[in-house]
Amino acid sequence: MFWLGPCIGNDHLNGEHRKEGRMKMVKIMMAGAMAMLLAACSTGPRVYTDADPAADFSRYRTFAFYESAGKSDEKYATLHGQRIEDAVSAALEARGYRVDINTPDILINYHLKTEEKTRTSPPVYYGGYYGYRSGMYVGWPGYVEPGYVDNYTEGTISVDMVDRRTDQMIWEGTAVGRIDSEFRNNPDQGVRKAVGAIFGKYPYVAGSSVPVIPAAQ
């Protein structure tokens, strides 16, 4: 006489374990997708820089802004423009540069733009499977992880540094990031953070061409 009970029980347990494993996998992947979305919302701006390799930064000790910097199409100064100028001035003065509106070594220009963006993720289907249960094979349905649509506003601040004598750009930095409720509620702080992130990549102090680690903003 053969006893088949343990075999059927093991198949049943294996099927249940497979089901639990699939459920855990779905939950993990959904949690991972949500974590990636939250991380994208919470991280600081992306910063890009470029420099003229032939520029001698030891020649630069003073700066001023282009008269047209930060002006609207109607040629008047904007509030965000003044915030950017204040933040850029603070960053450069912290590195030993000083303002000289008559004969500056460096002229500063900057740009601010916003753009509406949409990021989407399509639904993901996780297929069903079969398992042995109660003496027969039965199937479990698949699972669908719903996609998402993420609408947001992206802001870009660019800062250009130009050699006044040669009229050549010597360095530029750009910060790109979301304009969230925190920025809208406190634009002064938001602009300071973005400009601070840009000059966190600027490697020089006044009168020196030797790269140094900038002071934290």
For residue 165, give the DSSP letter: T
In Å, the largest CA–CA distance within the chain is 106
> Would you say the pTM of this structure is higher than 0.75?
no
206 and 60 Cβ atoms separated by less than 8 Å: yes
Least-confidence region, from 14-18, 64-68, 98-102, 135-139: 14-18
Q: 10 Å Cβ neighbour count for 157?
A: 26
pLDDT score for 133 = 54
Residue 77 makes CB contacts below 8 A (sequence gap 6+) with: 70, 71
CA distance 134 to 11: 9
pLDDT score for 117 = 85
Out of 2.60.120.590, 3.30.160.670, 1.20.140.10, 3.40.50.2300, the CATH code matching 45-121+140-199 is 3.30.160.670
CA distance 25 to 14: 16
62 and 108 Cβ atoms separated by less than 8 Å: no
Whether residue 83 is predicted with pLDDT greater than 90 in this model: the reply is yes
Domain ranges of the chain: 45-121+140-199
